[in-house]
Structure formats: structure tokens, C-alpha cells
Amino acid sequence: MLFKDYRIALNEAEQSLDKRLSALRDEFLRSYHGEFNPLKNSDLWQNGLYRFCHFLPKGADLHIHGLACLPVEEFIQWLMSQDDIFIFTGEMPKRGSLRTIAPGAAVPEGFKRFSDAFLDGDFSTDELRTIWTLLGENPHQTVWEWFETIFDRHMYATSDSIVRRYYEAVFRYYVRIGIQHIEIRVLTFGTPQEAASMATAIRDAYYAVMDSEPGFSVKLLGCGLKYSWVDLGVTTSMMENALYIHENVKDTRRGEDFLVGLDLVNEEDRSNNISFYGGLLTRCVREHPSLKLMLHCGETLHTGSTSVPEALQLCPVRIGHGFNLFRHKHLEDVIKDNDICMEVCPVSNLELHYVNDLRKHPAIEYFRKGLPMVLASDDPAFQERENLTDDFFAAAAFWDLSLADLKLLAFNSIKYCSASSETKQSMFEEWLRRWDAFVLTSL
């Protein structure tokens, strides 16, 4: 069966499983009356609907940010085996900050090797989950201010060795939970050579996993900063670094580009308009036609935001979030007619307070209108229990999705990923094999 000719339809067995999905959703909604928050409520992931979404073949995760990939428990397990990562044991606001310290180098006051600190009881899993996720949101700060302190505590990836070890753990985790392909947004700091060295370390980690999981696939998206107080020269330098990676770090095993797209990140409400960077982004893709734009936009509640129309002016192949597209309804046909995929991150939108009831998430209507869409995890380490599963669970539980809907979302993640046509075909065939097995074992 050719990937490009595939159509979503349910056979007799899938129709039976669709009825089971509906029953599991009804059972969950009847029994659960608490707040939907994967971080706060462990009983969420004990029910039948969550287990259904755990085993469901979800395809690819197309919107994740670099050092926010490993959920807390997984991250702790990895840190326990890293002799050169230390943690600050003092008081807030620095408490729980991680730093890499080379063997033989002086250890700054207040820092202790992570494995020693954890075994000595300086930290518990519950405390780390609080200070490393949105669970610990500080009432004296906005949610984004607290969110950014989490990133500040994770500034430990200062050597290629650590980068490689971390991403190998990330990729093995994704393989273990059944994800076939991921596209990671990375900040391209430093000199071009330093940025390329970082990308090479990520590629080496990917190859290490690929040795035992040849079907697993990874791509990078190079990102710059768009905060209004960040000098344009900094962002320009980061984009130039991304171009350097694109040219010099290839997926030689598959004969494909490794860094495939560009984006700008940060909290939208404190950032420059996308049009401010229009000339820079246009030049980048004009000079490197194989690069595509996958732009964050619409991640805001501000009624005057123009980020969605400004992003669409730059002809992206995907848009990240697109939450407030409902304020620009005339652009829905533009997205649909140009087959621009929306990377929707329901759990992230909930945790960052863009929506307080998932039943009212605007993406439900976008999906019903036939706009191209995938589900994605965004910053799962700081927001979820299990990457992508939580998002499928949220959508299945609160958007009244059928099995055909979930199948389409999973299929779309392969259709709109950045792999070559040949890799997509292979990925699709494997996904279909997994899907058929899932249906048979879930009835």
C-alpha cells in the first residue's frame, strides 16, 4: 500500500474497537470529577482510557523542545548515572539547579553530585517534580515566569559529551513508548562550529539508538529567540548557525538533511512580532530552499495578536500551536487550501493557562473543519507524565474523538513530518503494522 494513496477508514474490527473507545471514555467521564492535570493527578493514568492511549500507535512527535524531553522520573534515573552533573542543594530560587562540572574541577558552594544528593535525601522525587515542572507554579509569578525558571535550572548541557548522553536517553525513551519519529527544536547558540558540534552530538546519540532500532528517525529544527529585549543580531547569529548545521551536519545513514527547518521561540506576549524577522527568515529559506519554516504563532490570549496572519505571510509548512486562529477565521481556508499543518499541544495549552477547560479548546473546531492537524507534546518534561500519550488522552477524553479521528491524527504525524518520501513510506508501513496489531490485541 502506498503512503500517498492511504485513506482513513475503519474495518469491522476497528469499528468494534471504536465502540470500546467510546465506552472507556464514558467510564472515565462518569468516574472522574477532579481537575484534569497530568502532573497533579496520578489517578488519571491508571484508568482504561489512558492505557488505551498509551498503547495506541501515535506515530511521531513533531513539536518538542530540546532539554524538556525526559519526564521527571526518567530524568532522575538518567541523572543517577551521570557523575559529572551536580545539583544546587541550597534554598530557592536556585534550589534544584543543575550544572555540569568536569572531573577534578572545583565544585561551587552549595552544589553536590546529583546521585549523592538524591541518595542522601537532599531531594525527593516529589520535590523535584514540584520545582522542575509547572506543578510548582509560584503564585507570586506569572505562569511563564515560573516556567522559565524551570529552563534556567536545566542549563547543564555544556559539553558535547553531556548532550550526546542526554539525547541518547531521550531517544531510547521515545522508542520505549512506541514513538517512531521526533522533531526537536534546538536553540543554536555559540559559534557556527560550536552549534554544529552540538548537532553532531545529537546525531551521534540518534545513531547509537538507530543501531538497535533502525526504523527510528530524528530531525532538528533550528531556533532563534524573539523576545523583544534580545538584540536582532543575536537572533540573526542563531539563524546563521542553523544554516551552518543544515549545510554541514547531515543524516548520512539515510542520505537526508538532519536540520530541516527554522523557528523562533519564547513567550509570544513578550516577543517581537513575527514580521520583525520576516526579512531574515525569508532570506534563510530563499538561500536554502530545502529548509522549511515551522513557526510558533497564536500561542496567546491577546485579542490584538497578529502572529497567525504574519506567520502565514511567510509560507510555513507547519505552524506551532495556532491556538487563537479563531480570531482570524478568514485564514482557516488559507491553512486548509495550502495544506499547512497545525501542531496542537493540548496539555501545554492547559498547563500554561491558555485554556482552563479542554472541552473548550478551539482546536476541536479546527479539526472538525478539516484543517490539517497533529497532536504534539511541546515541553513534556515540565508538563506531562508520558510524552504524547497525555495529549492523545486529553483529546480522546474531552474532544469526543472517534477511533477514526485518533487514527487520522497519528497518520498525519507521519504525513506532515520532515523525513524524505522514502523514509515516510517505511515509517508508514511500520505504523500500519503496529496499528493492526494494536487493534487485534485491544478488542
Element (H, E) at 262: strand 259-265
Query: How confident is residue 36, by pLDDT bands cut at 50, 70 and 90?
Result: confident
**Neighbouring C-alpha atoms within 13 Å toward the C-beta of 355:** 24
Euclidean distance between CA atoms 71 and 45, whole angstroms: 14
pLDDT tens digits, residue range 323-342? 999 999 999 999 999 999 99
pLDDT tens digits, residue range 340-353? 999 999 999 999 99
Query: How confident is residue 299, by pLDDT bands cut at 50, 70 and 90?
Result: very high
User: What pLDDT is recorded for position 1?
Assistant: 58
Q: Which residue from 241, 310, 319 is spatially nearest to 278, judged by alpha carbons? A: 310
For residues 219-233, give the mean pLDDT: 97
Euclidean distance between CA atoms 245 and 262, whole angstroms: 11
Tell the residue number behind the cell numbers 523557528, with chain if given: 263
Per the CB < 8 A criterion, the answer to whether 82 and 75 are in contact is no
Q: Is the pLDDT of residue 384 over 90?
A: no
Map out the domains of the chain as residue ranges. Answer: 52-66+160-433, 73-151
Q: Is the pLDDT of residue 2 over 70?
A: no
Query: How confident is residue 42, by pLDDT bands cut at 50, 70 and 90?
Result: confident
pLDDT tens digits, residue range 236-287? 999 999 999 999 999 999 999 999 999 999 999 999 999 999 999 999 999 9
pLDDT tens digits, residue range 285-297? 999 999 999 999 9
Q: Class for domain 52-66+160-433, per CATH?
A: alpha beta
Helical packing angle, 48-55 and 12-31, nearest 10°: 140
Per the CB < 8 A criterion, the answer to whether 216 and 210 are in contact is yes
User: What pLDDT is recorded for position 34?
Assistant: 67
Helical packing angle, 12-31 and 389-398, nearest 10°: 80
